[in-house]
Chains A and B, each alone.
Chain A
Amino acid sequence: MLEIITIGFNTFREAIRSKVLYLILFFMVLMIISSLFLETLALDGGDRLIKNLGLSTISFFGLLVAMFIGVSLIPQEVESKTIYTIVSQGVLRWQFVLGKFLGLIMTVYVNIALMTVMLLGILAYYAATTEMIEFTAFYWMVLAIGMELLEMLIVVAIAILFSSFSTPILSAVMTGCVYIIGHMTNDFWDYIRLQGEKEGTEAYCAFLKVIYYLCPHLDMLNLKKQAVHYEVLGMASASFPFFEGTFHAVTYTAAILFLACLAFSKRDF
């Protein structure tokens, strides 16, 4: 366990020195601040524009961090041959993979924490100046960001999985694709349902269902729309599968990390 934490902190230290991270952070800040100017163009929809832009920025740039920093973490160690030093000191390969995951998720979470403080600050300022935002809005925003943290668990785990056996560019592309597919699962299910209504499609539907169950269900963790709509519903009327979402995120991440450890343990340097 100590090895995982040590590698995690070292990865985190390494990541926060990356210029790419600061570039991404700069654009995140720019996007969130721009919501203040954009809201003036949205008539009565200004508050929801700030919320949606903030939540989307956090999610999208979290993905970019995972894509551009995460996918190069393991190949970089292999390329620079530092992996030999680490492995020769008795660190097991799965510990190395989990350490990298820990370091990357810490980096992403610190970014998200910074953005959350900024977004809530802007919302508080907007609430104070326009009186258009109620307290429940902050509650739902924090919950939506909480769900994004879970989403990032899966995305980072996928980035680590691809980087454990593939090149950085390919890993980045595949991570991005999985992110998009993960957000299409609801539509994918609709498609399967429609196909199921046709005759003679049983085998095809069974195949599609296998793919469906293999995909990460990032839609389940997407509270962005509800965070805006729930504000008017009231607490008692809002219903979101928090438990199912959390359970899915944790178990799916664990499964992906298991595969990543397995892939890395088979890899020849």
Chain B
Amino acid sequence: MKPKVILTGIVLLVLYLVGQKLAWDSQRFDYVTNYMYEYTSPKMRSVLAAGHDALLADLTMVRGIQFYGMNYPLFNKQPRMYDQFYQLAETTIGMDPRHFEAYRFWGFALTSADMGKVDAYRFLMAGANRLSATDEVFTIIQPNMWEVAKDAAYIAEYELQKATSEWGCDAYAFAMKARDCPEFVHRLKVLACLDVDPDPVPALEELSVRANQSGNVAIWQLNLDHIRRIISEEHKRFWGAAQTAYIDINGASPTSIEQLTRNVGILRKAVQEYQTVSSQWGAGGPARLFPNMVNPLPEEKGMLEYRIAQIPELPEDPYGGEYLILEIEGKPQLVGTGIAEIEREVMINPLNSALEESKKDNNGECPTDLEAFSQEYGAPLPIADGFGYPLLMDYEKCEFYFEPISEENPPLLPPYGQEEAEAQTEIDLTPMDEPSESTTADPLILETTPESDG
């Protein structure tokens, strides 16, 4: 081979490699821009795709995923990167407006940028609108559309911190248009819409109707929990007004519930205050009082009903207990005992079941070493209940119990969970027949053994 030919070959090879390198470098940094502006608009690309636009949309999404993986940490520092990424989203859904996966991906990915949270919400809501559009080809709202709208609501509620409270409510309400929208979205919608309009009546109405119609125990129970919570909040609002009125008159906080309920002047002020607030809800409807449950302790799947209280009715604990003012950690606090009783049951039932097991394993004998019992049966012993009443044990009956909640017998300990870690180090689980110094001095004792009484 002639040297001239070899030389020409080498020169051509070098030029080729240089060209490739330049092309690679420019693509590496700008390939998305090139790609985006290759055609004039997503619509034009859709037309030029000649029926293959769904495939092009998929490939653009793959490109978007790669772009996100490479560049998302730069979105805040380089807004151009973010713009390019957003353009890829527009291109994808321009070619396939029903690209469910694209909406979900970009809905999540856009929130990586500070400036992208609002865009993500709008992108998802536009997607939910497109997925719910019907025509002669798509005769129904796309059943999985709710997931896109729910993502939008999530962004409004958590990423945007409810900056525009209507957004979350609107998005959940939109999700409910889809056939496959699950029940939990309905509950989320009720709660989100309470931020927009604090009027509890529409929320209670929706929750109770859906619970009564569903026939599903889990849905019924969850809706009942929400109804109780909403009513409880309204009662707090009323009692709060009553306490304020009491302080205005007496210059001190009330120490018993009777100080509020037996004083007509205070109740009148509380009623007026609640009615003033309620008249501002919704479209400025009539002033009214708080809601009460018709039956606070319904049977499983029983009818859930509420009614608006009329003067002189007082708030009735929606958990089936009563309202009291307890001195918890030295401060008088208005509490409902119903929820505390429920929590006590939740605490004690597994412990007493474990005790039963222990008795079976030990020829009917009640355990004396509670620390060993706790470890052996995997039943951690709480120190106190939610108000601070200590956990006690009746050795005669061989069961755990709490003392009754009453204003005359206020709790002595910090509420359960507040100072648990600290208290764990102090607890002495030795039974009373082997008293130690700490058990007599410390209120965190498990007591009332028959031996100690004798």
- B is bound to A: yes
Bitwise, A174-195 to B at CB < 8 A (1) or not (0) is 0000011001100100000000
A48 to B138, CA, bound (A): 18
B429, CB-defined interface residue at 8 Å: no
For B230, list chain A residues within 8 Å (CB): none
For B48, list chain A residues within 8 Å (CB): 180
Could you tell me the distance in whole angstroms from the C-beta of B11 to the nearest C-beta in chain A?
33
Q: Are A53 and B138 in contact (CB-based, < 8 A)?
A: no
Segment of B52-60, B185-193, B382-390, B438-446 engaged in the interface with chain A: B52-60
B309, CB-defined interface residue at 8 Å: no
Q: How large is the interface on B (under 10, 10 to 19, 20 to 34, 35 or more residues)?
A: 20 to 34
Q: Are A187 and B47 in contact (CB-based, < 8 A)?
A: yes
A234, CB-defined interface residue at 8 Å: yes
Q: CB < 8 Å: which of B54, B102, B105, B143 contacts A52?
A: B54
Q: Are B62 and A42 in contact (CB-based, < 8 A)?
A: yes
B139, CB-defined interface residue at 8 Å: yes
B18, CB-defined interface residue at 8 Å: no
Interface residues of B in 134-158 (CB under 8 A from A): 136-140, 142-144
For A130, list chain B residues within 8 Å (CB): none
- 9 A-B pairs within 8 Å (CB atoms) are namely A44-B101, A45-B58, A45-B102, A49-B62, A52-B58, A53-B58, A183-B49, A225-B53, A226-B137
Q: From DSSP, what is the main secondary structure of chain A's interface residues? A: helix
Q: Are B137 and A239 in contact (CB-based, < 8 A)?
A: yes
Q: How large is the interface on A (under 10, 10 to 19, 20 to 34, 35 or more residues)?
A: 20 to 34
Could you tell me the distance in whole angstroms from the C-beta of B291 to the nearest C-beta in chain A?
40
Q: Are B61 and A42 in contact (CB-based, < 8 A)?
A: yes
A214, CB-defined interface residue at 8 Å: no
Q: Are B143 and A240 in contact (CB-based, < 8 A)?
A: no
Q: CB < 8 Å: which of A49, A225, A234 contacts B98?
A: A225
Could you tell me the distance in whole angstroms from the C-beta of B47 to the nearest C-beta in chain A?
5
For B54, list chain A residues within 8 Å (CB): 48, 52, 56, 224-225, 228
Q: Are A52 and B55 in contact (CB-based, < 8 A)?
A: yes
Q: Are B143 and A233 in contact (CB-based, < 8 A)?
A: yes
Pick the 4 closest A-B CB pairs, nearest first.
Answer: A45-B101, A183-B51, A183-B50, A52-B55
A59, CB-defined interface residue at 8 Å: yes
Q: Are A56 and B52 in contact (CB-based, < 8 A)?
A: yes
Bitwise, A213-253 to B at CB < 8 A (1) or not (0) is 00000110010111011001110011110000000000000
Could you tell me the distance in whole angstroms from the C-beta of A132 to the nearest C-beta in chain B?
11
